[in-house]
Every structure is written in structure tokens, then in C-alpha cells.
């Protein structure tokens, strides 16, 4: 009888240590099958007391709000800049006069167009004239019913311009052909074909940031300065309607 008891107590399932080992093995199998989800849930509960408090949450939210505000301000600045480049700056319809081209002299020395709006319509000498694409020129003289516009291609035209990519001013001079010259007084100016040119923010004759044209060619053979040919965005020989800006500079 004694021998039977010894045999029964010697079996492995009667040993507490073996049960602990077996239980731990089952636990590992379960963790493996559940892909660690039980471990993650367990970590969730034991780490909860150490989570960031409400004050830290408020600091984070405040930082996010500040970042959003800065991004919003940057977007507003970019939007205003793009609107200016597209000639959509704060010029209301009441500050524009639409006019038709009734005569044009776009060849040879005299390069001008004549419009069907004059002093009775509020057109003044020196007013800026724009067409589809950008700047065309300025009003040279007016009559009661008409006005004459000196084009950018005319040798009489000289306007200050701005090269946006290299952030530099220049002088756009008409020379009697379709490509006025841009004079830069810096030999080291890194101007390239394709650079965008607009009216200068420092100009006292024109509203700033009106599109003018793109660089067509660059001549750096002169020692004192560079001369650049500009391809105008607004083509005066094909434009039939223009807008005269009444905005005071």
C-alpha cells in the first residue's frame, strides 16, 4: 500500500513546480497567439498613473494652436503675394476704367495705342494701363473722349521693375522693338532666362507687383552692367480691351 502511494505522488502533475512551469508555458503560447495584445493591455493599465496630466495636455494644445496660427499667417502672406502678382491687389472695380483700343501704332519709332476713354471718364495723364497678361504702359495725354498710351516698347518708356527670384530692382527701357531692355546696375546679378519681372515696389510711377514679362535673353558682355531682353506678357498688337487704373501711387 505504501509503494502505491509513493508511485502516485511521484507523478509529474503532482508537483507544484511542474504546474507553474506548465502555466507559464501556456501564458507564452497565449501571448504568441494574441500577438502581444494582452501585454499591451497590461501595460496600458500599469502605465496609466504616469500619463501626462491635464496641464501638459493644455500646453500641447496651446503649442498646436500657435503652430496653426503661424501657418495661417504664412498662408495669408503667400495668398496676398500671389494676388498681387496676378494684379488682384486691393483695387476695386470702381478704381478701374475699361476702355477699347481704337487705334494703335505698334511699329517703328512711335509705339502707342489710343483708347476710347478720356478726361470726361476720369482718365488722367500718368495713369497705369494694363491688359490681359500684365502691364502695357502709361497714359501720355488725354482729350475729352480719348487718351493716348505710351507702351513699354516705346523709346519714351522708362519704368522701374523688380526681379522676384533674385530680389533686385532694375530699369525697363523701351528701344522701339517688341523686347524692351532691362538694365541691371550690378554685374554680379544672377539673372537668368525665364526669370519673372514685375513692377517695382519702390516705383513712384506704377502700382507695385503688376506682371510685366519674363527674361528672354541676357547680355553680360558690358563691364559696367547687364542688359536683358524682356518678353512682355501683355501683347499690345493683339489686345483690343484694356483697363486703366485710377489708383493714386
Domain boundary at 66, 85, 104, which?
85
Full residue range of the structural domain in which residue 64 is found: 52-85
CATH code for position 167:
2.40.10.340
The answer on 151 and 226 residing in a single domain is yes
Distance CA 62, CA 64 (A): 5
The answer on 116 and 78 residing in a single domain is no
The answer on 46 and 66 residing in a single domain is no
Strand partners, 103: 114
Number of domains, the chain = 3
Q: What is the pLDDT of residue 95?
A: 78
The list of the chain residues with pLDDT below 70 reads: 1-19, 27-67, 70-71, 73-74, 76-94, 106-110, 222-225, 247-249
Q: What is the pLDDT of residue 231?
A: 92
Is 0.85 surpassed by the pTM of this model? no
Distance CA 168, CA 171 (A): 10
Determine contact, residues 141/246, Cβ cutoff 8 Å.
no
Q: What is the pLDDT of residue 21?
A: 75
The answer on 22 and 74 residing in a single domain is no
Amino acid at each position: 500500500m505504501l509503494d502505491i502511494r509513493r508511485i502516485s505522488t511521484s507523478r509529474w502533475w503532482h508537483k507544484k513546480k511542474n504546474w507553474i512551469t506548465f502555466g507559464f508555458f501556456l501564458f507564452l503560447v497565449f501571448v504568441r497567439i494574441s500577438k502581444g495584445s494582452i501585454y499591451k493591455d497590461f501595460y496600458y493599465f500599469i502605465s496609466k498613473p504616469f500619463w501626462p496630466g491635464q496641464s501638459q495636455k493644455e500646453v500641447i494644445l496651446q503649442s498646436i494652436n500657435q503652430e496653426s496660427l503661424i501657418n495661417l499667417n504664412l498662408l495669408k502672406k503667400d495668398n496676398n503675394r500671389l494676388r498681387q502678382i496676378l494684379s488682384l491687389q486691393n483695387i476695386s472695380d470702381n478704381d478701374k476704367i475699361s476702355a477699347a483700343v481704337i487705334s494703335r501704332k505698334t511699329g517703328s519709332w512711335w509705339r502707342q495705342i489710343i483708347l476710347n476713354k478720356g478726361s470726361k471718364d476720369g482718365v488722367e495723364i500718368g495713369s497705369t494701363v494694363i491688359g490681359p497678361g500684365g502691364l502695357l504702359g502709361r497714359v501720355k495725354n488725354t482729350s475729352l473722349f480719348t487718351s493716348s498710351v505710351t507702351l513699354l516698347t516705346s523709346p519714351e518708356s522708362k519704368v522701374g521693375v523688380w526681379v522676384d527670384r533674385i530680389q533686385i530692382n532694375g530699369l525697363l527701357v523701351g528701344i522701339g522693338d517688341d523686347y524692351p531692355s532691362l538694365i541691371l546696375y550690378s554685374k554680379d546679378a544672377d539673372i537668368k532666362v525665364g526669370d519673372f519681372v514685375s513692377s517695382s515696389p519702390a516705383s513712384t510711377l506704377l502700382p507695385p507687383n503688376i506682371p510685366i514679362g519674363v527674361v528672354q535673353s541676357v547680355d553680360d558682355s558690358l563691364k559696367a552692367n547687364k542688359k536683358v531682353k524682356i518678353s512682355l506678357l501683355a501683347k499690345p498688337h493683339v489686345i483690343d480691351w484694356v483697363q486703366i487704373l485710377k489708383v493714386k501711387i
